[in-house]
């Protein structure tokens, strides 16, 4: 089949050395940047494009407005500065004028830039001594390429690869592929319905477009392919899970859930009611539930969790809730016990036909006889609901009949741990418990479809009424000259007046990622200095990650019972801690935290009816400005998640969510909402007609080829 169209696998098998002009040395340089096969080369897409007919001229430049200009280099000069630093300047220009470029601390520019070269320069022009100048602009060397639109490839100074060399090799690869053509594995019905162009044409066009519109069409097609591969794995896994697991068809006719809801001291929010309904529908089905509940801090996820577990209990099964820390597990235990205080469970063996519902705690701190009791009664069904930590998934923990599993703050748990807890349900009847995964880290909808594409998603997008919004203020500790700013003093004055009014405050210490020890030292120092200084009149407690669970517990109890007015803490308080009387949150070195984390921390206040305040203290007036500004502007977790995605890019999102998709080179979780949906629908269509992709061999091969091994393992686990 020598003339069959080339597949991606064929291209992956062709060594890059088969390309004209790639000798041993270039081959090594290319390997350094991860390009080893012709496929790697063809999927190294241009970073940008320069449209020769459409770029600005030097004469059009406006001071202070970032612009791209195409210019020729007239001269390059290196200017020595003091302290062995250097500056490289270049004079560039076109028919309409000249511009000078200044590069600080980039001595290599002297070698890179050559007289008469054509370059694309992107930067902000300023006027200096009467002349236009750009400082440290982005420079792309275009070389002597002709054609209207010039692709600019990621260049590697280190590997000494230039964009025009890469363009030349890509050209050679495409020319040689032309006779056989590159095949298209996408069923043409789907391709035509979505009006996507063919793959071969897309590959040609993305590298050498005739117009920017064409390029966009090509990008759309290739981005769709990337998204489809991810969705095929996720949808495939979802369907396999549904096929291979038998769930419990929970009896929905009992009254426990409703009695619980009726007994709550507040009415459910509309969102809680809706999500409980969504969960109930899942619970009634024979297929096990696998649902993600996203709900901002304070949106009332616990009530939903308890409602779900009660359905299990009603039918004689058990519920388990796993939290990531002991503090949280204990807090949940206390809270849930309170919520369930008067609830009875049907029991035929009992004279009264019912008995008290039993909730137990299982953490590393439950030991000795108590632990043995809990374990025994979990195994014989005497315990209805168990709240715990990782301790729940250890050997020796057995359930009589685990019906509903709730996993709180899921980003703290790996998939293995999720699977382990679910596995505890595989008793004699080989049923899989229903799983509800809860997270307080909202992620945008499109991202959720990709990152959690194998789960159903519910959203609690409504806070219980009566919360007064948190007012957030940005505070700069030092001004530009390093002097302490008055803003900090004003902040402590306001904190003191809240404390005088009987309220409480958190002070969050800087996070020091590099060292636990340093972080604790910093916290101790801050604790000392506040106790002696700003907050000398008050009881100030300290909480950090190196304390024993017992110590932490004591501190939290003292704070909860108002023996402490102030709690100085490291980020251990990030998750779930609930003290409604705490109304002030001071976050020191806020610039060291990410948006999601700041949002979580801030969520510790604003839980009662008194107006709460949050101060974000920055060391440096120039770092973290956008992040802090976003927090000042909004308390909406979903909005903040969007901003976060915008500021950090999606790579970080994928890795924190522990689900990578390194294949996403062109697709954007931010911008490609329509494509993501289309890919997901196409994946369902393909998988439902052909679950093992027997009749879509080439698609299956591509999934295997392009998703990194770890990801696939991850994706195909569960």
Q: Which of 46, 236, 298, 425 is the binder for ligand ADP (CB under 6 A)? A: 298
**Whose Cβ is closer to ligand ADP: residue 323's or residue 675's?**
323
Q: Which of 69, 292, 303, 535 is the binder for ligand ADP (CB under 6 A)? A: 303
**What is the C-alpha separation between 241 and 233, in angstroms, rounded?**
12
Q: Residue 301 interacts with ligand ADP (CB under 6 A)?
A: yes
User: Applying CB under 6 A, which part among 79-87, 301-309, 489-497, 664-672 lies near ligand ADP?
Assistant: 301-309
Residues 571-600 as x/- pattern, contact with ligand ADP by CB under 6 A:
-------x----------------------
**Whose Cβ is closer to ligand ADP: residue 326's or residue 578's?**
578
**What is the C-alpha separation between 435 and 421, in angstroms, rounded?**
9
Q: Residue 318 interacts with ligand ADP (CB under 6 A)?
A: no
Q: Residue 297 interacts with ligand ADP (CB under 6 A)?
A: yes
464's contact among Mg ion, ligand ADP, none, with CB below 5 to 8 A by partner kind, is ligand ADP
**Whose Cβ is closer to ligand ADP: residue 187's or residue 464's?**
464
**What is the C-alpha separation between 570 and 81, in angstroms, rounded?**
44
CB neighbours of 59 closer than 8 A, spacing ≥ 6?
96, 97
Q: How far is C-alpha 125 from the geometric centre of its chain's CA atoms?
A: 36
As measured in angstroms, the least distance from the Cβ of 331 to Mg ion is: 9
Compute how many residues bind Mg ion; rule: CB under 5 A.
Answer: 1
Q: Residue 268 interacts with ligand ADP (CB under 6 A)?
A: yes
Q: Which of 33, 44, 35 lies closest to 15 in space, CA to CA?
A: 35
**Whose Cβ is closer to ligand ADP: residue 405's or residue 474's?**
405
Q: Residue 300 interacts with Mg ion (CB under 5 A)?
A: no
- The HSE-up count of residue 483 (CA atoms within 13 Å, CB side) is 4
As measured in angstroms, the least distance from the Cβ of 276 to ligand ADP is: 11
* Position closest to ligand ADP via CB: 300
Q: Which of 468, 476, 529, 532 lies closest to 503 in space, CA to CA?
A: 468
**Whose Cβ is closer to ligand ADP: residue 575's or residue 715's?**
575
Residues 541-600 interacting with Mg ion (rule: CB under 5 A): 576
As measured in angstroms, the least distance from the Cβ of 302 to Mg ion is: 6
326's contact among ligand ADP, Mg ion, none, with CB below 5 to 8 A by partner kind, is none
**What is the C-alpha separation between 256 and 533, in angstroms, rounded?**
53
As measured in angstroms, the least distance from the Cβ of 351 to ligand ADP is: 34
Q: Residue 269 interacts with ligand ADP (CB under 6 A)?
A: yes
**What is the C-alpha separation between 420 and 415, in angstroms, rounded?**
8
**What is the C-alpha separation between 391 and 190, in angstroms, rounded?**
48
Strands (DSSP E) along 20-96, which ranges?
48-51, 67-80, 86-94
**What is the C-alpha separation between 202 and 215, in angstroms, rounded?**
8
Task: Kindly provide the b/e burial profile for residues 235-252, where b requires at least 16 CB atoms within 10 angstroms of the residue's own CB.
Answer: bbbbbbbeeebebbebee
Helix 326-339 and helix 301-314, axial crossing angle in degrees, nearest 10: 70
CB neighbours of 139 closer than 8 A, spacing ≥ 6?
101, 109, 112, 113, 119, 120, 121, 122
CB neighbours of 408 closer than 8 A, spacing ≥ 6?
301, 305, 321, 322, 323, 324, 328, 332, 438, 576
**What is the C-alpha separation between 267 and 263, in angstroms, rounded?**
9
As measured in angstroms, the least distance from the Cβ of 131 to ligand ADP is: 58
CB neighbours of 214 closer than 8 A, spacing ≥ 6?
205
User: Applying CB under 6 A, which part among 65-73, 203-211, 262-270, 383-391 lies near ligand ADP?
Assistant: 262-270
Q: Residue 200 interacts with ligand ADP (CB under 6 A)?
A: no
266's contact among ligand ADP, Mg ion, none, with CB below 5 to 8 A by partner kind, is ligand ADP
Residues 231-260 as x/- pattern, contact with ligand ADP by CB under 6 A:
------------------------------
**What is the C-alpha separation between 611 and 581, in angstroms, rounded?**
10
Compute how many residues bind ligand ADP; rule: CB under 6 A.
Answer: 15
Q: Residue 510 interacts with Mg ion (CB under 5 A)?
A: no
Q: How far is C-alpha 680 from the geometric centre of its chain's CA atoms?
A: 20
Q: Residue 272 interacts with ligand ADP (CB under 6 A)?
A: yes
299's contact among Mg ion, ligand ADP, none, with CB below 5 to 8 A by partner kind, is ligand ADP
Q: Residue 433 interacts with ligand ADP (CB under 6 A)?
A: no
Q: Which of 295, 315, 324, 510 is the binder for ligand ADP (CB under 6 A)? A: 295
Q: Residue 326 interacts with ligand ADP (CB under 6 A)?
A: no
> In whole angstroms, how far apart are CA 325 and each of 9, 87, 276, 417?
46, 53, 25, 14
Bridge pairing between strands 97-104 and 86-94: antiparallel
Q: Residue 464 interacts with ligand ADP (CB under 6 A)?
A: yes
Q: Which of 115, 266, 414, 427 is the binder for ligand ADP (CB under 6 A)? A: 266
User: Applying CB under 6 A, which part among 69-77, 292-300, 376-384, 527-535 lies near ligand ADP?
Assistant: 292-300
Residues 629-688 interacting with ligand ADP (rule: CB under 6 A): none
Gyration radius of the chain over CA positions: 30
Q: What is the 3-state secondary structure (H, E, C) of 304-322?
A: HHHHHHHHHHHCCCEEEEE
Contacting positions for ligand ADP (CB under 6 A): 266, 268-269, 272, 295, 297-303, 440, 464, 578
Residues that bind Mg ion (CB under 5 A): 576
């Amino acid at each position: 089949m020598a003339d069959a169209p080339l597949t991606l696998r064929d291209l992956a098998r062709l060594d890059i050395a088969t390309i004209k002009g790639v000798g041993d040395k270039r081959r090594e340089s290319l390997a350094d940047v991860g390009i080893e096969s012709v496929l790697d080369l063809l999927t190294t897409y241009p970073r940008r494009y320069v449209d020769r007919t459409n770029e600005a001229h030097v004469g059009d430049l406006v001071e202070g407005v970032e612009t791209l200009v195409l210019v020729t280099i007239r001269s390059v000069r290196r200017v020595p500065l003091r302290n062995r630093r250097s500056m490289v300047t270049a004079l560039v220009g076109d028919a309409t004028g000249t511009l000078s470029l200044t590069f600080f601390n980039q001595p290599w520019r002297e070698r890179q830039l050559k007289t008469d070269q054509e370059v694309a320069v992107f930067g902000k022009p300023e006027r200096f001594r009467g002349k236009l100048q750009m400082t440290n602009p982005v420079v792309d060397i275009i070389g002597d390429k002709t054609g209207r639109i010039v692709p600019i490839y990621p260049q590697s100074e280190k590997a000494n690869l230039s964009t025009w060399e890469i363009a030349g090799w890509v050209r050679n690869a495409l020319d040689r592929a032309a006779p056989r053509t590159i095949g298209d594995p996408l069923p043409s019905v789907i391709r035509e319905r979505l009006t996507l162009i063919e793959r071969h044409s897309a590959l040609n066009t993305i590298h050498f477009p005739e117009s920017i519109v064409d390029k966009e069409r090509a990008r759309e097609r290739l981005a769709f392919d990337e998204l489809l591969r991810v969705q095929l794995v996720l949808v495939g896994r979802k369907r396999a899970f549904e096929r291979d697991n038998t769930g419990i068809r929970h009896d929905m006719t009992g009254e426990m859930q409703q009695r619980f809801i009726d007994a709550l001291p507040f009415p459910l929010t509309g969102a809680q009611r809706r999500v409980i309904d969504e969960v109930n529908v899942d619970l009634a089905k024979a297929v096990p539930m696998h649902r993600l509940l996203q709900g901002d801090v304070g949106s009332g996820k616990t009530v939903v969790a308890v409602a779900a577990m009660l359905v299990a209990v009603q039918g004689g099964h058990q519920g388990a809730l796993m939290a990531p820390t002991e503090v949280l597990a204990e807090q949940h235990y206390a809270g849930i016990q309170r919520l369930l205080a008067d609830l009875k469970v049907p029991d035929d063996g009992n004279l009264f036909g019912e008995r008290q519902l039993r909730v137990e705690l299982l953490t590393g701190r439950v030991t000795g006889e108590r632990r043995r009791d809990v374990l025994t009664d979990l195994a014989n069904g005497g315990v209805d609901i168990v709240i715990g930590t990782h301790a729940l998934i250890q050997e020796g923990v057995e359930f009589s009949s685990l019906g509903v599993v709730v996993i709180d703050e899921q980003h703290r748990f790996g998939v293995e741990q999720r699977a382990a807890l679910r596995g505890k349900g595989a008793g004699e009847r080989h049923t899989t418990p229903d799983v509800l995964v809860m997270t307080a880290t909202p992620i945008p909808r499109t991202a959720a479809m990709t990152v959690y594409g194998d789960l159903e998603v519910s959203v609690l997008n409504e806070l219980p009424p009566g919360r007064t919004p948190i007012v957030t203020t940005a505070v700069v500790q030092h001004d530009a000259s390093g002097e302490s700013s008055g803003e900090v003093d004003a902040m402590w004055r306001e904190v003191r007046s809240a404390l005088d009014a009987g309220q409480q405050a958190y002070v969050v210490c800087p996070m020091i990622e590099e060292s636990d020890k340093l972080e604790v030292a910093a916290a101790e120092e801050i604790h000392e200095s506040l106790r002696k200084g700003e907050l000398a009149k008050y009881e100030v407690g300290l909480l950090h990650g190196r304390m024993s669970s017992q110590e932490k517990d004591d501190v939290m109890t003292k704070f909860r019972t108002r023996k402490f007015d102030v709690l100085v803490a490291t980020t251990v308080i990030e998750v779930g801690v609930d003290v409604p009387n705490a109304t002030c949150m001071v976050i020191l070195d806020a610039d060291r935290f990410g948006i999601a984390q700041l949002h979580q921390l801030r969520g510790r206040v604003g839980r009662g009816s008194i107006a709460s305040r949050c101060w974000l203290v920055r060391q440096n007036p120039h770092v973290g400005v956008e992040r802090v500004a976003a927090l000042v502007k909004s308390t909406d977790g979903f909005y903040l998640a969007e901003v976060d995605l915008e500021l950090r890019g999606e790579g970080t999102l994928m890795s924190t969510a522990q689900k990578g998709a390194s294949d996403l080179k062109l697709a954007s979780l931010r911008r490609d909402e329509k494509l993501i949906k289309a890919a997901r629908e196409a994946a369902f269509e393909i998988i439902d007609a052909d679950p093992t992709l027997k009749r879509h061999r080439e698609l299956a091969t591509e999934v295997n080829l392009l998703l990194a091994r770890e990801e696939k393992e991850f994706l195909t686990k569960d």
